Structure 1
Amino acid sequence: MPTIAYFGPRGTFTEQAALGFTEQAALGGDADLVPHTTIPAAVGALRAGEADFACVPVENSVEGAVSATMDTLAAGEPVVAVAEHVLPIRFSVLVRPGATAADVRSVASHPHALAQVQRWLAATLPAATQVVSSSTAAAAVGVADGEHDAAVTAPVAIGHYPLQALATDVADEADARTRFLLLARPGALPEPTGADRTSVLAVVAHRPGELSALLSELALRGINLSRIESRPRRNHFGEYRFYLDFDGHVAEERVGDALAALHRRSQLVRFLGSYPKADGSGSPAPEANRDADYHESARWIAGLREGEHA
């Protein structure tokens, strides 16, 4: 049975995402889930061979990129994403058994969770003091221990703690979602499906036009860029790493050609994986950028080099 290290503790959305990954065919429908206190610790367990996979959040539609994940992917031994899972973010508000809304004077959660239920809290628990916890699950532990009166948590938390739901399906934004990655040590990549995403990070020279030139390598090959984020380079003030997600799989000629160009242009490129998109949306190559087009042009160039000028 494979082991998945995940950003815990138990009862978080990352645990829910890890459970979602276990349903994928590659994991055989089952896995041993092991919580870790931080994202670097979960990925560290993978790098050390203590786990077969690591499950980490990478971006939220309301709060944006998860900087701890981005920084962890940039440092240390390489790891690659082999799958993604997009989880709708709907919260449960948990209290001690028998408690009502009138009993709630404090409500705790992770700051990202509190930010996503502000309207609900203002309408339902306007007098409650909001308390920041290290995670939604830690907030649930605080309620169970009598430190807080209510916790905004992932729905899975109610199965781990002796609490009851004051409310469920809570969210200010009906379409709030978080994308999670399943990471593995480098090895055989998932086969291309025609609905794939490739992730890389790149560092470019600190000169005018360098980022534009980098992105043009994707556009010239008909590759759709779906996400770009920047993070500062530690010990290099004023310099940044750029994280790119784009359509396609490294096994495709256009993507391989683009990655080779990024490698030539950049000070550093780290491949972060090619994997199926969670939504299954297709990523077909446009005309002149299909594999057959690359193969035909390669044959033509080979002929020219051998003196065939037809």
Structure 2
Amino acid sequence: MRYAYLGPAGTFTEAALLGVEGAREAERVPVSSVPVALAAVRSGEVDAAMVPIENSVEGGVTATLDAVATGGELRIVHEALVPISFVLVAAPGTTLADVRAVSTHSHAWAQVRGWADEHLRGVDYVPASSTAAAALALLPARDGAAGPGREAGFDAAVCSPVVVEQHPELEVLAENIGDNKAAVTRFVLVARPGAPLPRRTGADRTTLVIPLWEDRAGALMEILEQFATRGVNLSRIESRPTGNFLGEYFFSVDVDGHILDARVADALMGLRRVCPSTRFLGSYPRADHKMATVARHHSDGAFREARGWVESLQGGGPSEPGGVAERPVPGTG
């Protein structure tokens, strides 16, 4: 197995990947961005890629939501939750008073802005492809020259403590600087279609891409009612522009349940009727093991009973045991 992940080594994405069974022994390929990782999956260069999809502070990771919504279809086969902790690092000999510009990934910067405003007032922010890439850019080159980060105009970087463990020569200027100490990022392992469907556990998640096929009053309601009438809970829904033209959007949706659950399968059939371009991205076990709450009339058994009753009426025979008892039609005696 070959896995791609947002590199370099030491990123939170690599930490999520290392939690996958067999990943430590497999070949791990660091890449520069989420689109590059997913392109490697589509081309067959790697078997799967670990990418961030949602953060408890910032919400959906737009680079991932957009990249899985277009192009060749992909399947999510696994998810992981990684607690997020940040440190501020710099090249050896640097002090906090020396810092005039800081680099890190945009999602990391959003999670430390409060701390930065208090302790590094007026500091400039320089975007980086990943937290680890920003930190490693500060290290001196082998010939003793300043690292590319210093040349690019930043003096410090926000990264994970794992980077410091791997590169102890980095100067740690501050620890645990996240504004939300309980921050968590959700990562997903993405493979090509045809991979075995993860088994149903009762604590599952299904991810969909639903284009808004018509910009009119009630269009979103028509989508939502496919889930509501079948008792399917939406744990996340976000709108994203398609990029085709202004005002054209798609919805990225997570629902509680597995496609093998009768209520979820029935909702997807209804959704497919009203929006044929709906994209199924996978059903997979939740990393938090949170069981779905399902009312009795939305259970698999209730769907089987209802389907059996309708089929018996279509065939003209008696309803199956447990079906709804027939009642006289008012006015017929």
Give the Cα–Cα distance (whole angstroms) in 1 for the partners of residues 34 and 164 of structure 2. Answer: 23
Whether the aligned pair in 2 keeps the contact of 1:202 and 1:267 (CA below 8 Å) is no
RMSD (Å), alpha carbons: 1.9
Partner of residue 193, structure 1 = 201
Are 1:10 and 2:17 counterparts? no
Higher gyration radius (CA): 2
The CA deviation at 1:11 is: 2.4
TM-score w.r.t. the length of structure 1 is 0.91
Whether the aligned pair in 2 keeps the contact of 1:205 and 1:267 (CA below 8 Å) is no
Are 1:183 and 2:178 counterparts? no
C-alpha change, 1:254 and 1:127, in structure 2 (3 Å) is: closer
Unaligned 5+ segments in structure 1 are: none
Unaligned 5+ segments in structure 2 are: 141-145, 320-333
The 3-state SS of whatever aligns with 1:249 is coil
The 3-state SS of whatever aligns with 1:116 is helix
Give the Cα–Cα distance (whole angstroms) in 1 for the partners of residues 244 and 24 of structure 2. Answer: 43
The 3-state SS of whatever aligns with 1:170 is coil
Partner of residue 172, structure 2 = 165
Alignment match of 1:237 (pick from 246, 251, 254):
246
Instruction: Give the number of equivalent residue pairs.
Output: 305
2:198 counterpart letter in structure 1: P
Give the Cα–Cα distance (whole angstroms) in 1 for the partners of residues 53 and 287 of structure 2. Answer: 13
1:162-219 C-alpha deviation (Å, 9 max, x unpaired): 4132222220112222111111111221000000011101123222111111111111
1:67-107 C-alpha deviation (Å, 9 max, x unpaired): 11111111121111111112222102112234332343432
C-alpha change, 1:105 and 1:243, in structure 2 (3 Å) is: closer
The 3-state SS of whatever aligns with 2:298 is coil
Residues 32-47 of structure 1 mapped to structure 2, 5 A cutoff: 32-47=27-42
Partner of residue 157, structure 2 = 151
1:112-160 C-alpha deviation (Å, 9 max, x unpaired): 2222212222333336443333322222133214303321112222244
TM-score w.r.t. the length of structure 2 is 0.85
1:78 counterpart letter in structure 2: E
C-alpha change, 1:130 and 1:207, in structure 2 (3 Å) is: closer
Partner of residue 228, structure 1 = 237
Residues 44-83 of structure 1 mapped to structure 2, 5 A cutoff: 44-83=39-78
The 3-state SS of whatever aligns with 2:296 is coil
Give the Cα–Cα distance (whole angstroms) in 1 for the partners of residues 198 and 125 of structure 2. Answer: 43
The 3-state SS of whatever aligns with 1:9 is coil
Residues 70-219 of structure 1 mapped to structure 2, 5 A cutoff: 70-126=65-121, 128-145=123-140, 146=146, 147=150, 148-161=154-167, 162-187=169-194, 188-203=196-211, 204-219=213-228
